[in-house]
Amino acid sequence: MNATRILAVLAKEFTQLIRDRLSYALILAMPIVQLLLFGYAINNDPHHLPTAVLVQDQGAFARSTLGAIERSGYFDILETARTPAELDRAIALGRVQFAITIPADFTRRVVRGDKAQILVEADAADPSTTGGAVAALSGLPQQALANDLIGAVARPGGQPPFEVVVHRRYNPEAISAYNIVPGLLGVILSMTLVMMTALGVTREYERGTMESLLATPVKPLEVMIGKLAPYVLVGLIQTVVILVMARVLFDVPFAGGWGALLTGIMLFIVGSLALGFLISTVARNQLQAMQMSVFYIFPSLLLSGFMFPFRGMPDWAQLIGSLIPVTHFLRIVRGALLKGLGLADLWPSLAALAVFVLVVVSLAMARYRTTLD
């Protein structure tokens, strides 16, 4: 061991690190950005979940109950449905997380002490979103009407005046795998496809083969199609493997929605590949390409609703999340597989993916140079 020699290597390493500006920026930006972003954004006990109600009872008890539900902090009543069908649609399309029905005979049954009930339907496709809210409901019957049930209608023996029936839809047993496995499809596709193309194209520049290629009559679009097409196949094979395993090993329901699913998968694969290509036009070497891919993949994991409830994030984080293609892809996959939603229902997410593909392809084409300038 010789201190001078260690110092020599140490000094050289620091100098190289500082020269490599992008790595340097990422080393600093990674912890700061990610910590701020995810530290504030991620919330495992989401409150203020969008809720729709169908109130068929105009009595005072119904109003008090709704008030108590809102005061719990978990539910924001955003929609008032007029028919059960309207209520059903709001939850099926994912506009709301909860659909609450207060039946017409609610007040009457409470007064009579005759098994009054309210129905809370939860979109449990992602069980972690609804868990906290559902737990909060258990204390509701005791307190909701405490100020109303006095005097003649006071309950003997502290028996709860009504019962909350919770109906977990799309994933009645709250099995995490139903949520995670379709989500994994999006995450695995982004990881492999973005990274593989980013590295694949950067490698051509790094090894000098791009220079030879550019000296030939081959056109940018031809290079792009030729380079990306094999990876489309890779993506499709991964999709088949994941879906088959999801079905065989985890019994994930396949509720239908194949049209939307296929369209979504194709858009997502093409978009991810084009993004990889775009990264390769910016990165100067494979290491940078790798770092940029990781920089994209992190928020895709954390802000897309894959690992943590999307609705649990503050508005600004949801806004960022909705710019991430994986978010929309997850909505499509979960919507199609768990809820059986089709093209007509999932078009907003499909359109978002289409815009993503369009933007990224145009950027990549604009940045890809047929010269070395």
What residues make contact with another protein under the rule CB under 8 A? Answer: 207-209, 211-218, 370-373
Q: Which is nearer to another protein, 68 or 224 (CB)?
A: 224
- Find out whether 150 and 111 touch, Cβ atoms under 8 Å: no
H/E segment holding residue 80: strand 75-80
Distance between CA atoms of 142 and 60, rounded to whole angstroms? 16
Provide the 10 A C-beta neighbour count for residue 131: 17
Q: Closer to another protein at the Cβ: 221 or 323?
A: 221
Nearest to 144 by CA among 41, 33, 69, 213: 69
Rounded Cα distance, 228 and 270, in Å: 8
218 in helix, strand or coil? coil
Query: Considering beta carbons, is residue 210 or 360 the nearer one to another protein?
Result: 210
CB of residue 219 to another protein, shortest distance in Å: 9
In the DSSP assignment, the letter for residue 172 is T
Q: What gap in Å lies between CA 101 and CA 249, rounded to an integer?
A: 36
The least distance separating another protein from the CB of residue 222, rounded to whole angstroms, comes to: 9
Name the nearest CA neighbour of 190 among 319, 318, 328. 328
Question: Rounded to the nearest whole angstrom, what is the least distance from the CB of residue 280 to another protein in the complex?
Answer: 17
d(CA 349, CA 329) in angstroms, rounded, equals 7
Structure tokens at 327: 């978010």
Q: Between 138 and 212, whose beta carbon lies closer to another protein?
A: 212
Cβ–Cβ < 8 Å for 304, 186: yes
Q: Which residues contact 203 (CB under 8 A, 6 or more apart)?
A: 286
Residue closer to another protein, measured from CB, 58 or 370? 370
Nearer to another protein, 138 or 209 (CB): 209
Q: Report, in Å, the least distance between residue 223 CB and another protein.
A: 10
Q: Rounded to the nearest whole angstrom, what is the least distance from the CB of residue 195 to another protein in the complex?
A: 18
Pick the closer one to another protein by CB: 167 or 219.
Answer: 219
Least distance (Å) between residue 204 CB and another protein: 9
Q: Residue 67 and residue 56: Cα distance in Å, rounded?
A: 15
Minimum distance of another protein from residue 194's CB (angstroms): 22
Using only the alpha carbons of the chain, give its radius of gyration. Answer: 27
3-class SS at 163? strand
The least CB distance from residue 300 to another protein, in Å, is 30
Give residue 349's Cα distance to chain centre: 11
Q: Give the phi and the psi of residue 257 in degrees, each rounded to 5.
A: 70, 35
Indicate left, alpha or beta for 156 from its phi (over 0: left) and psi (-120 to 50: alpha): beta
In angstroms, what is the minimal distance from the CB of 332 to another protein? Answer: 37
Closer of 13 and 211 to another protein (Cβ): 211
Q: Which is nearer to another protein, 214 or 365 (CB)?
A: 214
- CB closer to another protein out of 226 and 314: 226
In the bound complex, what is the minimum distance in angstroms from residue 232's beta carbon to another protein? Answer: 20
Cα end-to-end distance, the chain, whole Å: 47
DSSP 92-103: HTTS-SEEEEE-
